[in-house]
């Protein structure tokens, strides 16, 4: 406290003495850590595994939970008969209970204090049985705080313990942060000993109201820690479910994807056990990682025990690398350490930590009690993958330092060694600092650049085309980086060497600057960013030289009038802003420049004649570190969460002002590169409303426009799609989109929107075995139009490209197809994974919602899948299980038949799993009876050994897979949103679809009203002519028009006013009117033009009558039109009172009928395929003649009737029908 602050205060106010209890509450950091939320990257339990992610939590809350669970784990050391720990977390009420059996706390009074021992142990500070330092203890407690800290930071804390020796049971409740201690309740007890602690944290002190998802994921992870680090006999339960971790090695596998898979098992390279030690070593992805425990305490920051293990591993690997690597130089320990992921489970005598939070072990190794010595030979032999990786790093560094590969003589003029480089004449000379290397996007852009360079001369300008996108060199091995040909050619052309710094040696470069000449589209911005990222990663000092990197800009749109100069726009947003500011944008002609290839050579010369106008220099404006941070934000693989925030703040109207001559790297990232990141996300992640990505939406729109009911080659269809939707990417990408829309094998679509006519791919390889697009045909599946209703087409909001109307912004199907067919995608900052669900369950839930009921939970469902699903622990994601049946024994072997694989596993890849098991002698023999649609493996194994744990064939044969449920999709407003479950998505979808029905009904009413009015006026006109009340022959057009008006005949313009303009189209302006206005401006004037305009207007008003043929002006035609009018009026009468909900139900009924047909068709196909497989299976080992005879009889036998599909919405029945696991 300053003197100024002390002034006026009493001595008693300045100097205070507080109790230990109050000090703990006043200074939590000293005892339990911060009570305020902190955002850190921690390991958490999520989706069935342990992952590293950024969480926001109060460390103190985490610590008070940890104190109680460590107490329970300690008891496993003290009490040899302890074998069970139960943890219950009541999320709703915020109450946590930890129970363990084994020796409890003595229920006896302490002679010195007169208090019961449980009261002292849990309610009196500095009470412990750990103060005897002469006794070697292997527990986590040390200082006498422990569980008392939990009591102090809780509103309620209950002790319950049973003492078998004294035959007493003790119960006591503390409250108000341990200030109130209730009277203990003691009764006789004859059961087994136990201890049970129940507490409710004081959430107000932690700035919380309840337990949130972040702290829960941390707590779950600690429960799994205890399950993995305590003896195998100790079974740990979380919320009533046993934690399926039986060993420390099994615990370590949780840190890898699909922990139960062979891939996760293979990531563990070394597993060593010894007295009080267990060590597991795996390879780290990017930098050193460790997971360590001391006496069941999680030492998240490591310490002396981890260093002791790491030093041994590093020494063993270094020795092996020295033998294998011929570079004959010492390997830096830091390189080896960065490749290691070390797990340590240790028991250490009387451990000492850096603080009460116990995150770092400080005990010197000599005081551990035992020393863990890892066998060097075993390490060397098992860590070969890491050795190879380090050798690769060293070899790559040698490659990067190889002057012969990367560098050229600084004074050399000729650079013919670089393919396609048109070298500047002065490059590599004393004037190289004046030279600029122009990097272009492709060969066509090089031609444009050379045309321009011909104006300014070839002395100081070189041109090098890039083949594609350079690699992102950040967080990637150097060896892999130099394998990218674009990067290697840039390094050669520039004379750059990644092993050097250029703070003072820029004169050694062949060029003094780089100019980026890319398309003015998002992909072009991405290429610019990748080049900038490469320079920043290897030579950040070069970016600090203003103008070392420059950008050449070309127009993306040019507009002009017949007489007047052309205006150029360098971004679409600039162009849109200009259109908003002028009164008549339709009167201007326009040309879109989709790429540099659109510009002519003459335009290229014009660009270079005014070079200053087209060049922007990048400058390093980094007083506050923003420049480096912006580049890292865009390209660092470790900053995906930051990129989410970046894109969430995306403002589509932000763009670079191309009138400037200089631009910071921060502006480039936030105003230009961000458009690519958003664009890449748009391409990768579907919309919630229709479940489609842009390429899929384009394919569907083109098929609808073409009314694709007959087969057409996929290659031809792709050409049509490209033409009709202004598709700007490669044909291969669109071909893939069409093929995937037609996939109908198990594990793909539940409803394929296109029909596969030919080999579109099978479950053998997950669709990757499809034929080339020129060989396969497709057309729309008839059911598709029952989902994407044709009646909705007029009310959709259609996009425009270069003035061309293309696909809608989003379709509005009658069911959310994102759930029916599922989806997967990875974009900038996000990834999405949505399982498939039964369309009948979806329909049933929609009906329930429309009727005012509650929707029911849905289980994943894949058409034809015979396995099952179960929800993962923690409620996020699913486990898919295949089918395996015990068929009996043959000799000394057991026979199992595998008849279904889990979702995401394909037949060919699973065969490799079985082959490896056979190679490892886990199975004796494999017989395959698989087809393109069915799975059937017959496997022979030796009878498994009898163990306490029952043999699980599903686990043994690796027949499980993780099905993620990470529902990130663009919502109706185009914003990325995470839906917690399918029902939340449907809750968003249903109001949107009802609104679409309102629009559809208004449009249909307007359309029918307009049609009825046209028919009425046609009937009236015919009656006038037939009854000779009006004659047409020999009369001038103006006279006829006047007569029609006199008889009350409506003009077409007045009738058209009855039509309804969908909200999506309002305010768009009339392109046709603009075109007419432009034509009028170009044409001449005068009386003739005026007269022609008047006649055109009359034809426009009454052309629908005056163009009728003579045969239509008869009484028979009048009767026919009146009958047609009657039918239209009946439609209006039917539609007008019909609610939007009824319209939807009618559509759902129609779709349900189509699903019945689809189910029957698929069932018949499955029965036929199954019969063939069963026949082959039954005939195994029989002579060929008998097989042929049996096959002939089987073909004559009619196929069995398809099973009746489950009723709509019966999710339980559908799930039960899919179960087939033994």
What Cα–Cα distance (Å) separates residue 183 from each residue in 106, 119, 158? 17, 10, 12
Q: Which helix (H) or strand (E) holds 807?
A: strand 804-808
Q: SS3 of 1090, please?
A: helix
Can you say how many angstroms the Cα of residue 94 is from the centroid of all Cα atoms in its chain?
A: 31
Phi then psi dihedrals of residue 801, to 5 deg: -140, 115
Among residues 771, 751, 768, the alpha carbon closest in space to that of 907 is found at 768
Q: Answer yes or no: are the C-beta atoms of 237 and 243 closer than 8 Å.
A: yes
- Crossing angle of helices 1184-1196/1140-1178, nearest 10°? 150
Among residues 843, 882, 857, 853, the alpha carbon closest in space to that of 965 is found at 857
Q: Is the dihedral of CA 441, 447, 448, 452 positive or negative?
A: positive
- β-strand pairing of 589-592 with 557-560: antiparallel
Return the C-alpha torsion angle 610, 613, 616, 617, nearest 10. 60
Q: Answer yes or no: are the C-beta atoms of 432 and 510 closer than 8 Å.
A: yes
Q: Distance (Å, rounded) from C-alpha 180 to C-alpha 177?
A: 8
Q: Distance (Å, rounded) from C-alpha 42 to C-alpha 52?
A: 5
Give me the residue label for tokens 């009236």.
1020
- The residues near 625 (Cβ < 8 Å, ≥ 6 apart) are none
What Cα–Cα distance (Å) separates residue 651 from each residue in 173, 382, 576, 648, 975? 56, 52, 15, 9, 12
Which one-letter DSSP state was computed for residue 431? T
Q: Distance (Å, rounded) from C-alpha 1157 to C-alpha 1159?
A: 6
Q: Which of 607, 775, 896, 1104 is catalytic?
A: 775
Among residues 257, 258, 260, 264, the alpha carbon closest in space to that of 246 is found at 260
- What are 196's two structure tokens? 């049970």
- β-strand pairing of 49-57 with 84-90: unpaired
Q: SS3 of 55, please?
A: strand
If phi > 0 it is left, if psi is from -120 to 50 it is alpha, else beta; for residue 767 that is left
What Cα–Cα distance (Å) separates residue 411 from each residue in 400, 439, 501, 503? 21, 22, 19, 20
Q: What are the residues facing 618 on neighbouring strands?
A: 663
What Cα–Cα distance (Å) separates residue 924 from each residue in 60, 908, 915, 928, 938? 55, 19, 10, 14, 11
Q: Distance (Å, rounded) from C-alpha 1045 to C-alpha 1027?
A: 18
- Where helices occur in 726-832 by DSSP H, the ranges are 731-742, 784-787, 817-820
Residues present in the chain in total: 1222
Q: 295-330 burial string, b = 16+ CB within 10 Å, else e?
A: bbbbbbebbbbbebbbebbbebbbebbeeebeeeee
Q: What are the residues facing 879 on neighbouring strands?
A: 870, 962
Rg (CA), the chain: 38
- What are 42's two structure tokens? 């921690």
Q: Distance (Å, rounded) from C-alpha 553 to C-alpha 556?
A: 9
Which one-letter DSSP state was computed for residue 1051? P
- β-strand pairing of 893-900 with 937-941: antiparallel
Is-catalytic flag, 31? no
Residues designated as active site: 775
């Amino acid at each position: 406290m300053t003197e100024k602050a002390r002034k006026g205060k009493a001595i008693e106010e300045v100097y205070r003495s507080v109790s230990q209890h109050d000090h703990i509450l006043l200074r939590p950091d000293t005892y339990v850590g911060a009570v305020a939320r902190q955002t850190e990257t921690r390991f958490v339990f999520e989706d069935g595994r342990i992952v590293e992610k950024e969480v926001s939590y109060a460390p103190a809350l985490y610590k008070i939970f940890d104190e109680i669970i460590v107490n329970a784990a300690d008891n496993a050391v003290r009490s040899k008969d302890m074998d069970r720990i139960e943890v219950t977390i009541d999320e709703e009420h915020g109450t946590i209970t930890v129970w363990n059996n084994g020796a409890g706390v003595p229920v006896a009074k302490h002679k010195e204090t007169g208090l019961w021992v449980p009261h002292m142990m849990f309610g009196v500070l500095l009470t412990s049985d750990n103060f005897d330092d002469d006794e070697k203890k292997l527990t986590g407690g040390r200082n006498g705080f422990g569980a008392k800290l939990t009591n102090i930071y809780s509103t309620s804390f209950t002790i319950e313990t049973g003492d078998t020796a004294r035959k007493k049971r003790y119960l006591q409740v503390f409250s108000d942060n341990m200030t109130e201690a209730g009277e203990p309740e003691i009764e006789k007890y004859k059961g087994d000993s136990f201890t049970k602690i129940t507490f409710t944290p004081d959430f107000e002190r932690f700035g919380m109201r309840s337990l949130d998802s972040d702290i829960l994921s941390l707590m779950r992870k600690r429960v799994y820690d205890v399950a993995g680090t305590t003896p195998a006999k100790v079974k740990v339960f979380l919320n009533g479910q046993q934690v399926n971790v039986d060993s420390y090695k099994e615990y370590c596998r949780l840190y890898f994807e699909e922990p139960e898979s062979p891939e996760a098992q293979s990531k563990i390279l070394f597993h060593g056990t010894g007295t009080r030690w267990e060590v597991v070593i795996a390879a780290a992805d990017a930098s050193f990682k460790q997971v360590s425990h001391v006496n069941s305490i999680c030492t998240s920051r490591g310490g002396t025990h981890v260093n002791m293990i790491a030093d041994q591993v590093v020494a063993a690997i270094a020795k092996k690398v020295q033998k294998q690597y011929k570079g004959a130089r010492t390997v830096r320990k830091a390189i080896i350490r960065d490749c290691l992921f070390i797990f340590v489970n240790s028991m250490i005598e009387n451990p000492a930590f850096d603080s009460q939070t116990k995150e770092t072990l400080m005990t010197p190794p000599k005081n551990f009690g035992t020393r863990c010595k890892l066998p060097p030979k075993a390490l060397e032999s098992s860590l070969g993958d890491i050795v190879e990786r380090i050798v690769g790093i060293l070899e790559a560094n040698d490659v990067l330092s190889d002057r012969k590969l990367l560098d050229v003589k600084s004074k050399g003029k000729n650079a013919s060694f670089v393919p396609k480089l048109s070298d500047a004449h002065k490059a590599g000379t004393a004037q190289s600092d004046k030279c600029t290397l122009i990097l272009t996007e492709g060969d066509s852009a090089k031609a444009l650049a050379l045309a321009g360079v011909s104006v300014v001369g070839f002395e100081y300008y070189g041109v090098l085309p890039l083949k594609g996108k350079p690699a992102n060199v950040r967080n990637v091995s150097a060896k892999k980086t130099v394998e990218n040909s674009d990067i290697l050619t840039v390094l050669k052309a520039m004379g750059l060497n990644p092993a050097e710094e250029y703070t003072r040696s820029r004169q050694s470069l062949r060029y003094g600057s780089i100019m980026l000449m890319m398309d003015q589209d998002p992909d072009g911005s991405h290429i610019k960013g990748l080049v900038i990222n490469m320079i920043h990663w290897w030579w950040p000092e070069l970016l600090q030289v203003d103008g070392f990197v420059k950008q050449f800009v070309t127009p993306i749109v040019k507009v002009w009038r017949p007489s007047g100069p052309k205006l150029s726009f360098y971004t679409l947003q600039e162009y849109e802003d200009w259109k908003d500011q002028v009164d008549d944008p339709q009167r201007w002609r326009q040309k879109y420049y989709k790429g540099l290839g659109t510009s002519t050579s003459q335009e290229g010369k014009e660009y270079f004649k005014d070079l200053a106008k087209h060049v922007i220099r990048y400058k390093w404006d980094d007083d506050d570190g923003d420049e480096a941070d912006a580049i890292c934000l865009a390209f660092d693989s470790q900053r995906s969460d930051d990129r989410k925030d970046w894109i969430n703040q995306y403002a589509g109207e932000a763009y670079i002002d191309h009138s400037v001559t200089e631009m910071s790297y921060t502006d480039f990232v936030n105003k230009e590169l961000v458009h690519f990141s958003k664009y890449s996300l748009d391409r990768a992640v579907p919309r919630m409303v229709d479940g489609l990505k842009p390429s899929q939406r384009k394919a569907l729109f083109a098929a609808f426009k073409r009314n694709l009911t007959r087969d057409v080659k996929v290659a031809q269809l792709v050409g049509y799609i490209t033409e009709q939707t202004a598709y700007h990417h490669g044909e291969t990408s669109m071909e893939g989109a069409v093929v995937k829309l037609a996939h109908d094998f198990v594990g793909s679509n539940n409803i394929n929107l296109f029909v596969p006519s030919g080999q579109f791919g099978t479950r053998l390889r997950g669709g990757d075995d499809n034929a080339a697009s020129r060989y396969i045909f497709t057309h729309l599946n008839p059911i598709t139009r029952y989902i994407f209703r044709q009646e909705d087409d007029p009310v959709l909001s259609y996009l425009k490209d270069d003035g061309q109307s293309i696909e809608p912004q989003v379709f509005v199907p009658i069911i959310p197809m994102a759930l029916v067919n599922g989806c997967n995608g990875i974009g900038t900052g996000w990834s999405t994974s949505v399982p498939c669900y039964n369309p009948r369950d979806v329909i049933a839930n929609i009906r329930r919602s429309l009727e005012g009921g509650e929707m029911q939970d849905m289980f994943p469902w894949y058409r034809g899948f015979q396995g099952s699903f179960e929800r993962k622990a923690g409620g996020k994601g699913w486990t898919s299980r295949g089918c395996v049946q015990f068929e009996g024994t043959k000799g000394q072997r057991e026979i199992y038949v595998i008849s279904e694989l889990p979702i995401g596993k394909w037949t060919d890849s699973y065969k490799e799993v079985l082959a490896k098991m056979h190679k490892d002698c886990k199975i004796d023999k494999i017989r395959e009876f698989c087809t393109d649609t069915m799975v059937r493996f017959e496997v022979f194994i030796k009878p498994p050994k009898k163990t306490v744990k029952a043999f699980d064939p599903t686990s043994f044969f690796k027949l499980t897979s993780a099905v993620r449920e990470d529902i990130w999709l663009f919502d109706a407003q185009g914003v990325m949103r995470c839906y917690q479950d399918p029902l939340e998505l449907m809750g968003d979808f249903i109001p949107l679809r009802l609104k679409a029905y309102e629009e559809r009904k208004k449009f249909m009413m307007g359309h029918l009203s307009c049609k009825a009015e046209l028919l009425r006026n046609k009937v009236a006109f015919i009656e006038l002519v037939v009854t000779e009340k009006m004659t047409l022959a020999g009369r001038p057009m103006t006279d006829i028009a006047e007569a029609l008006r006199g008889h009350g005949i409506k003009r077409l313009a007045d009738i058209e006013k009855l039509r309804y303009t969908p909200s999506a189209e309002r305010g768009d302006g009339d392109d046709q009117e603009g075109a007419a206005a432009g034509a009028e401006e170009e044409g001449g004037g005068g009386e003739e033009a005026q007269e022609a305009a008047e006649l055109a207007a009359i034809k426009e008003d009454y052309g629908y009558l005056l163009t009728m043929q003579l045969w239509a002006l008869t009484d028979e035609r009048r009767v026919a039109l009146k009958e047609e009018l009657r039918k239209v009026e009946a439609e209006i009468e039917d539609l007008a009172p019909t609610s939007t909900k009824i319209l939807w139900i009618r559509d759902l009924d129609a779709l349900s009928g189509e699903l019945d047909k689809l189910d029957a068709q698929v069932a018949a196909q499955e029965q036929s395929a199954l019969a063939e497989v069963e026949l082959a299976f039954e005939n195994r080992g029989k002579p060929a003649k008998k097989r042929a005879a049996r096959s002939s009889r089987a073909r004559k036998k009619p196929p069995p009737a398809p099973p009746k599909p489950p009723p709509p919405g019966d999710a339980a029945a559908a799930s039960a029908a899919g179960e087939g696991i033994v």
